Structure 1
Amino acid sequence: MAGMTLSKPKGLDSMTFICEDNNMKTIHCAALNRLPLECRMYPESVNIKKPGFLKKPSFFALLLGLLLSQVYVSAETLKEPIRTFQGHTDSVKTVAFSPDGNTAISGSSDSTIKLWDVQTGEEIRTFKGHSDKVYSVTFSPDGNTALSGSRDNTLKLWDIQTGKPIRTFRGHTKSVRVVAMSPDGSTALSGSEDNTIRLWEIQTGKKLTIFQGHTRAVYAVAFSPDGSMALSGSKNGTIKLWDIQAGQELFTFEGHTGLIYTVAFSPDGRTAVSGSQDKTIKLWNIQTGQEILTSQGHTESVDSVTFYENGRYALSGSQDNTIKLWDIKNRQNLGTFQGHTDWVYSVAFSPDGSTAISGSRDKTLKLWKIDLPPTAAFSVSPSTGTAPVTIILDASQSLGQMLNYQWSTSHGKTMTGKQVDLTFDKSGTYTITLTVTDGLNRTDAFEKKIVVNQPPKAVFTLSPEQGKAPLSIDLDGSASVDSDGTITSYQWSSSDGQTATGKTAQMTVQNEGKYTITLTVTDNSNATATAKKTVSFGKKIPPVATFTVSPTEGKKPLTVHLDASQSFDKDGNIVSWEWKSSSGKTLSGEKTNFILTTVGEQTITLTVTDNDGATATAEKTVTVTGDAPVAKLKVSPLTGFAPLTVQLDSSDSVDTDGRITDYRWTISDGQQAIGRTKSIIFGEPGTYQINLVVTDNDELQSDKATQTITVEKEIPPVAKLQASPLSGIAPLTVALDGGLSFDPDGGTLVTYRWKATDGKNTLTASGETATLTFDKAANYRLSLTVTDDEDNTSSNNVTITITDTPQIAFEGLEDFYEVGDIIVVDLVEIVPRNSRERVDLWVAIQIPTGELFFRTLLPQMPFALKPQAFKNSLPSTETTTRLLEFQVIPGMGGEYVLYGLYVKEGENPMEHLSDLQPILRSNLVTQSTMFSDQFSEQ
């Protein structure tokens, strides 16, 4: 059977029938306007019982021939629309009816949106604002605004009355293919070629949620009827169900083999339909995600599917240029609408279901007459009740042009009319069926079951039914019954305002008089029943409690004798005597003794009970005394330097008749402590009084015990340092000596810590004497911190100046020269100099008489007594300079001293002899030699 191909009888546009194969599997076969006929398996299809003779192929072929000759024509082809709307200059991508059905809106590839008068087909206004194709447009639930999505990546909200945009929604990075409004109009969904779905707040345009999960462009979105879920369809052929509030995917529907162009929820939210590039329409179970059925009526991609408001009928638009009307309940194609000359992108039902509108690539909209079969539906009020009950049946929910409403019940009653009354005298479950017939004699039936309840019966007992107040009575409603269900609630009330719940309960009667007790029971169908009983109770005369106690005061442990023999009961006799002390001790009996061990006033209470259960009490007071504890304290040390830690000990405190439970220390400086032993720190010098008060288990306090301590001011040590030298050129080793440091209070210095830092580099050392070597030029703060044997510290500091001044030296000068010797002296700078700095060179010679001669550049007068630079404005670069070259001649012999110095350009070192530091460029180099007076003897 699965491979069978059937021929369509001449002139037949469509047909539907049901048959079975040899394996008794149900097959649903539909021509749906094309041949060869396709047969698909549907487990839900109606089964036709197969007679035995059909088991033979020849009989089956005969029956099939008969079926084909008398096939039921289920779909007609309509080619003439009511009217055509023209005005767009490019494809009409989307259409929608206003909530009142008087207008329609359309979006086009020409980037515009148009509002139309449905009755006349006239354009009302054009909405302009998008810069590219408009793919989707929809009305708000109140019809005052419209929302659109475009290839320009935006959504726009429009004012229907003015045609002006209210706001623009931005966030998608690619074309917005579809938009949908929530049922309450507060939010909107959009699907985009950027693979995402976005939830927007309509009032503000704020993006609320981004739904991510699709891997290809999203072409379809829809809200569930309650707005809690959403469906989306993607280019990769998948459909996803989303939780709107959580922003999470619930599951994925798989079955289509092509792009999903359209999705829609059924009005009850339990199913959904989808249309695909694979030319099929699929019906889905929302709860399970399972495919219910597939329709293959279209011959090209299905671009649009929408439900009618009763969920029974659906419209589809296709790229085969047709629109099809479907009966979802009976799985039939009811009609095909042909009139568009190009693809049908969008279809929509009018609110009353009498018409449909479509938008096409042929640039037009078309309005079609929809002649739907009747749909029966009714309401029942009340939906349940207790016999006898009268209900109202109302068929106003039925859809179609009805001529007749026929009612029938499972207990044999029949009625006619759109609204009827029906009375049920007995309990039970009844089926009510409504059959409606329209002007074309088409019928539909709908049924509901109602439950008529038999009320429960309330029965109860109470005990006792007589007695003297006050007393408790027990209530028992377990004898109550419900013949057609179960009792779910027991509610008790009394005439004095008491209430209780439960099958059994208890109430207390406080006063004499009559009381009405009422039980109300409720069954599982919410039917109720009540029962009442009235009882009378007399008044109890309570007994009189009185007693003597002896003695009434004394030292603990105190034994007191209690005698209640004077207590009495006027209308009976006392049956019990209960004694209780305020310390918690209890005894019983007419006479007894109490041993009281708690110091203070003790209240003794007698409670007597008579033979009617009435009680009376009496109280008397006994005073119990005891010995107070004695506080003793030990404090150590009694003197010391601040901060001084003092140990407090109250272990010698005693209580002769009990135990000490609390130790409280107070100090004259405001400090407090609790405990047998504690430590207290005194941070300031002074005289302090320490107080101790102890409390015993009888809450008796001791007298105050005191001790005075003296805290002296701590004298810190004195840090003194010696460092040599205090300045020099890196690397420089400085000797450190802290030997002059001392502790004024006779203590011992235990540590010497040295630290030198310039803020970046830090050197440390320890010990009374030490050395530090400075490798980098900087001003260092050198500090010595000494610590004595009481952990007191003191610090002292000096500044160490380390320079990296370039070093210069004489070269070529011998220790001794004779007459006739040629003297050649050079000045060499050892450390590279700063190339951006210019300097002056001073050179001088001190002769044996002490006079200082300054080297000049004048050949005629190489030396002068006047202080002057040898060379001015020299670039500060590494160089060797020829200073002197001459021959020793007879003259003044003795020691000659040469001086060399680079200074900052323009400075005179002779004016700053007391402090050369500000002007020095280099070290002052000196070197001496001896000149002879005469030629040496050969």
Structure 2
Amino acid sequence: GEEKQTIMRLGNKGAGTMDFEISVGPGVPASSEWTGSIVPEPAKGGGSIIKVDPLSGHLAPGESRDIILTLGSPDAVCGTYSLCLYVSANDPQRPFAVIPVTLKINVPPAIEIKAPVGGDELHKECEIKWTATDPDDDNDDLLIDLAWTRDGSHWHELGRGLLNTGCFQWNTIAVRKAGETFRLRARATDPAGAQDEFVTGEFTIINLAPAADFGFAPPSPTVRDVVKFVDESTDDGWIVAWHWEFGDGCESFEPSPDHQYSEKGQFTVLLTVTDNGGLAATAEGTIEIVNLPPRVEIMRPRAGQALSGEATIEWKATDADDNQDALKITLEYRPEEGQAWQAIVSGGPNSGKHVWDTAELERGGKYRIRVTAADPEGASGAAISEEFTVIALTRMITAAPNPASERVTFYYDIDTDGELLVYDVAGRPVHMAKLWAAAKSYEWDLTRGGRPVANGFYLYVVITDSGERSEVGRLVIGRR
């Protein structure tokens, strides 16, 4: 139905001026589908399917001219035509030429959208249905373009060059924002380029608000734990924004953030999510940061240490979620495995040190200390020392260990300063040392003049400045 133009070029290759004249006549039908008729003289009648301009003229030697051929006509009947252009000229070598022309007068296709229609409400997945036909082409040769608009001016492509299947799955979530003024456009194009277009009435696309939800791990965190929060929200589209409020003044805009609390207690957590359609929802939950028990470390007494008289117990008690000064300390001792712990101090302050008078013990031997720290909520932590030795002084001075191999400690209880004397069994002096009454102990490395003393039996005694003299003790030195 449309007019299109093409050019035929005539040239004069002869030596003289060439006069030409062009006419149009019927030819053999191009196919069995040939219909309609032609006007033999297209320049004289309306509805011609071919027009020639100019119909005649002359050409100088070597000159050429473009002849404009207008093909088709809005008034022509559709179909396929076979024509001939007859060109005559006063050229003795080529006085006459016949140019066959085949024309197809095309009818545009027709398309109609069956669904959705104006007034419909769409949600998530829907099926676009249409019918597209072509009276002079195979319907399967039609190509379909689909587009949607919200405002009637800006069209968004759904598919271009689709096969004419009659249906197309459309996820309306892709429009991002719901509304009531949506339209669909379908366009069919035949092999010759002719088109038809159909636009629906206005319909509505529905967007449902998201369902906000979240989880976290671990389920019972402490201030030492990093809590992993996970968004578990659902939506008919997709979530595009997150706002977390952790209840302690901190917030995050990540989908699944990590957060560490600095205090114990219960906190209200809020998660607000926004979907691709601009709708928002909020989920609220409670997280409890549970109480963390204190930690205890014992520094003294050390493993293998020998104690006599007043000895210092030293510890370090800390609490990650409480003030350390609020901790209450219980000190206990146990003489042997399997026996009950005996209290030294119960509910004392967290001073870090306590002087323990081992002279109150009924006997010496191997002992352990247990230090327990309790916080204001009753959670407790404890530590047990390595085994140490308590020397029970039943006389003025004693030595331990005995036998000794590397060194020996003399434990004493004297009112005034004094002197330690060590002899071999022959009565020869081996070692002498000043003893300070307040020190309560003295350690000897079992050397004399920088050289180790020999293995064997030795005798020791203490003489105080006030003239007191201890009983003679026996010391065995046995190196391996």
Which TM-score bucket, shorter chain as reference?
A: 0.3 to 0.5
TM-score with structure 1 setting the length: 0.21
User: Using CA pairs below 8 Å that are at least 6 residues apart, which structure has the higher relative contact order?
Assistant: 2
